[in-house]
Amino acid sequence: MNSSLNFTGHLFNQPVPPPAGHVGPCPKMATWPETAQANAPLVIHSGHELLTFTQGDAYALLRGYIAGQGKTDWQSQQCLLEQLLARFISRQDLQLAAMEGSFTLLLATANPARLMIFRNVVGNTFTYYRPSPNGIQFSNQLAELGSTNPVLNQQALPSYFIYRFSPGRETLFQGIKRLLPGEQLLYESGELRVETCQTYANLASGNPITRVPDAIECVESAMTDISRDQVNRYPSASGLLSGGVDSSYIQAHWNLAWQNNGKTNPPRSAAFWLNETRRLTDQEYTLSAVELFETEHLSVEIEELTADTIRQTLRTTGEMPNHVQSFYFPALARRMKEWGSTAGLCGEGADGLFGTDDLCQMIKAGSMAQWLPARFLRQSAARLAELIGKPYRAEAIRLSGHLDDLDAWVHPINQNAAFTDWATVVSCFGQEAAQQALVNRQELLQQQQVPDDRLHLQHILTVGFLGEAVNTAAYWTSLFNLAGLEMTCPFLDSRMLTATLQIPTDIKFPPSGAKVILKHALARHVPTEFVQRTKRGFGQPIIKWMSPGGPLRPAVEAISPYDFLPDGLLARLKLQPNWFLYNLLVFDLWYKEFFESP
């Protein structure tokens, strides 16, 4: 545990007595760096590189950083942690909703036995907990809790097969919960309370920005502050530079903060690339950005995906990834650590904040709804668009009739989030269970008090931001933590969310294209032709890998015929591999690892 950046612990309801027949001093039960109390009800283990503070039988731990006017260096954060622990001991208000940055905070005392864990609204680290008859267990790695007497959470399966992960509080292990962004866990005297302390409403209280130049300046100011704080907190970090707009914007600001911090050596960047013919241009794309930013670069070649790679990642995290490239991060983290880098700067979160092509389609659908308010007009117009060879226009027209149907599978929110087809999920779990998965996801929006508008663009924003983006960032962070590295995501800093929530959707998401504000901001730092480069995604030939002769095919052939699979479905999927089969493959490897391994 000491070589990784992880924590795990157990708070007992009562002091633990010595074992029967024990002779000698009482066993030391309260455990944390450099401190141990005899016969105490609190046990916490943490990696030695985590920021911690102890005072007698009280303990504090901080993952990430709490923003504070540039005071994010190790010593300043240590002082802040000391102050927060003192307030916790004296039961003062911690004012959690006012704290900015990206962090998870843990405070605990052994006498009386009391525990508080808070994950801020964009905290990009997981925290799990499981109440037990003896107290409560907690960890930032699901595998730590799930490896003991695991029970499958059947109710979470539909969500997993729709979204490729289980959004919300439920995990695939029954009884083990996920602390959501903005939530506080408080355990005392055998009672557990989990409540929302920080919401989007806390961050969206500023005055709306009505001009594009002001919106650009707002984003620039936020990223300047974030980069300054992160240079102080992670001075040996490397930008995870893909060459796209998101990572390039981070690298541009990191370079400036690096120089302003008095650094004279070149800033660093790192990236993985897949040695697969159709993907080689991705590496060229990245290297052109490396040349522009003049970084010292680490290029890590990734081999094709195998079942052993998937199995090892699932074994160490216990959590389902919602991106195939998640399995590449352990190799990248190991190479970065050997290289001397201690953290990676990741661009996850920008899609939800600044828009995607799906959002442009939503805007077009909203215009269609105004021009074609009647259903029969939309149906006729959609048929006409198809007849004249404009299928995308027809799709936008059809979507325009469902903008307010948040419970409908055809709603853009649900279409945008899905990784498999509705019919297959329904055939496995039934219509009611699949529909409930959609409802559960919408409840995240209500809990977070998400701003709304007629086209639900904020819903699209926050479903991706709350669900996929934060989940992905937390998963990748977990993989880095296991290798002894930190990962930080500048777009998942509450100050960036505050900045973007002040920008109205008609400015932030114009019909002309995605990430317009972000591209304008990047153009202040790089040549225009660099900003206007065509997007190149890092895709993987997963269908090819699962097909006969592919590296994943033996694992596909070994998938068990689970009870939820209708007769004949598995055989058909093997003949025609798709993304549902990939989800099933990952589930099969995960299930056998935790439920069938000796």
Residue 483: left (phi > 0), alpha (psi -120 to 50), or beta? alpha
Residues 6+ apart with CB under 8 A from 588: 555, 558, 559, 560, 562
Count of residues making up the chain: 598
Report how far residue 74's alpha carbon sits from residue 54's, in angstroms, rounded to the nearest whole number. Answer: 15
> Nearest Cα to 374, choosing from 397, 344, 354, 394?
397
Report how far residue 259's alpha carbon sits from residue 597's, in angstroms, rounded to the nearest whole number. Answer: 51
3-class DSSP state of 503 = coil
Report how far residue 21's alpha carbon sits from residue 30's, in angstroms, rounded to the nearest whole number. Answer: 21
pLDDT in tens, 84-93: 999 999 999 9
- What is the average pLDDT across 281-291? 85
Q: What pLDDT shows up at residue 14?
A: 64
- List the chain domain ranges: 7-127+179-198, 208-353+460-531, 361-456
Q: What pLDDT shows up at residue 17?
A: 54
pLDDT in tens, 271-285: 998 876 555 567 888
pLDDT in tens, 33-66: 444 444 557 888 887 778 888 888 889 999 999 9
Report how far residue 136's alpha carbon sits from residue 152's, in angstroms, rounded to the nearest whole number. Answer: 19
- Least confident window among 27-31, 352-356, 368-372, 460-464: 27-31
pLDDT band at 487 (very low <50, low <70, confident <90, very high): very high
Whether the CB-CB separation of 463 and 445 falls below 8 Å is answered with yes
Which H/E stretch holds residue 275?
A: none
Whether pLDDT at 297 is above 50? yes
Report how far residue 368's alpha carbon sits from residue 390's, in angstroms, rounded to the nearest whole number. Answer: 15
pLDDT in tens, 506-531: 888 887 778 999 999 999 999 999 99
Whether pLDDT at 346 is above 60? yes
474 CB neighbour count, 10 Å cutoff: 24
Q: What is the mean pLDDT of the chain?
A: 86
Q: What pLDDT shows up at residue 1?
A: 41
Whether pLDDT at 2 is above 70? no
Percent of the chain with pLDDT over 90: 54
558 CB neighbour count, 10 Å cutoff: 12
Termini Cα distance of the chain: 22
Task: Give the class (CATH, top level) of 208-353+460-531.
Answer: alpha beta
Q: What pLDDT shows up at residue 148?
A: 86
Q: What pLDDT shows up at residue 24?
A: 44
> Nearest Cα to 69, choosing from 59, 77, 61?
77
3-class DSSP state of 588 = helix
Which H/E stretch holds residue 66?
A: strand 58-66
pLDDT in tens, 526-552: 999 999 887 666 667 899 999 999 999
Q: What pLDDT shows up at residue 278?
A: 57
